[in-house]
Amino acid sequence: MDRLTIVKVGGKVVEEPELLNALLDDFARITGYKMLVHGGGKAATALADRLGLETHMVDGRRITDAAMLEVVTMVYGGLVNKKVVAGLQSRNINALGFTGADLDLIRARRRPVVDIDYGFVGDVENINTRELRLLFRENVVPVIAPLTHDGYGQILNTNADTIASQLAIDLAHHFKVFLFYCFEKRGVLSDPMDDDSVMPELTESAFIENQELGIISTGMIPKLQNGFRALYNGVGEVLITNPANFARGRGTRLLRE
C-alpha cells in the first residue's frame, strides 16, 4: 500500500505565523501522499469576542448556535483555510482548500440533544474517499477545514480532531495511514504546568486514568479519544506532537494494548 500522512494542526500553531511556518516547512518535505486538517478555534473565539458573542465550550467542544456557526464558517472555511493553502503554495505544494461540503467530501448529521444541546454541531457519517483518492493521484494536497454538511444545505461545525480521525480510518482501507496531531505542546503532559513532562508513550487505559485524575482535560480529551479510535481501526501510527518535533517523530506515541 502507498503511504498517506494526515496532519491535523490546531491550537496556537494556526494562529502564530512562526509556528505555522515551521510546520508548513516540515509538512512540505513529507514524501508520499499527504493531507492537512486544521482547526482554528482560538481565531474563532477572538472574532466572536469582537462581535460580542459569548463562547461556550464543553470538554473542548464548542457550543455552536446560529450566530457562532456564521463565525466558524468565516474563520475555518475562509481565513484559516486560505492562509494555510497560500502558505503551502509558496512552498511549491499544490494545495486545495475544502470544507466537508465541497465535492461532498464529508457528510454529517446534527448531534442529537441528550444532556447538552451543542447546536449546529455535526457528527461525521460519511467520508467521500473516492474524490480524495482522485485528488491524491493528481498530486493535489487537500487542506480540510472543520466544517461538514448534512446533504440538505446545512453547514455543521465538526471537531477537527474527529474529522482527522475519521479520514484516517476510512482512508486506511486504501493506504498505509500515519496520523499526526500537531499543536503548541510537545505532546501529552504528565504535569500540565510543566511543558517538559511529555509522556513518550500512552495507552488508552493510561489516558482514561489520567483523565479521571484531572491531568488530561479540556481540548486534549477529544484529541486522544479520536487518536485511539483511529489506532484501533486500521491506522498504522498516531503521534501527538508540536512543529519543532513533528519531523523528528518525537512526541507522545499512542500504543495499542
**Residue of 72, 83, 76, 67 whose CA lies nearest to 24:** 83
The pLDDT score that the predictor gives to residue 241 is: 95
- What does the alpha-carbon distance between residue 181 and residue 142 come to, in Å, rounded to a whole number? 16
Q: Left, alpha or beta for 144 (phi > 0: left; psi -120 to 50: alpha)?
A: beta
Rounded to a whole number of angstroms, the distance between the first and last alpha carbons of the chain is 25
What is the pLDDT confidence band of residue 218, given thresholds at 50, 70 and 90? confident
Fill in the DSSP letter of residue 77: I
Please determine, for residue 75, whether its predicted confidence score (pLDDT) is greater than 90. yes
pLDDT top residue among 221 and 156: 156
Helix or strand holding residue 58 (H, E): strand 57-58
- What does the alpha-carbon distance between residue 39 and residue 93 come to, in Å, rounded to a whole number? 20
- What does the alpha-carbon distance between residue 209 and residue 96 come to, in Å, rounded to a whole number? 40
Rounded mean pLDDT, 238-251: 91
Q: Which amino acid is at 107?
A: R
Helix then strand then coil, in percent of the chain rounded to 5, is 40, 25, 35
Rounded mean pLDDT, 170-180: 97
Rounded mean pLDDT, 48-58: 90
Please determine, for residue 219, whether its predicted confidence score (pLDDT) is greater than 80. no
pLDDT tens digit string along 2-18? Answer: 999 999 998 889 889 99
Residue 108 pairs in a beta bridge with: 124
* Residue 57 to residues 63, 117, 197, Cα–Cα distance (Å): 6, 11, 26
User: What is the distance, to the nearest Å, from the Cα of residue 210 to the centroid of all Cα atoms in its chain?
Assistant: 22
The pLDDT score that the predictor gives to residue 164 is: 97
The pLDDT score that the predictor gives to residue 217 is: 84
CATH number of 3-255: 3.40.1160.10
The pLDDT score that the predictor gives to residue 38 is: 97
The pLDDT score that the predictor gives to residue 58 is: 83
The pLDDT score that the predictor gives to residue 180 is: 96
Helix residue ranges, H only, 51-159: 66-74, 81-89, 129-137
What is the pLDDT confidence band of residue 220, given thresholds at 50, 70 and 90? confident
Mean pLDDT of the chain: 94
pTM: 0.94
The pLDDT score that the predictor gives to residue 42 is: 86
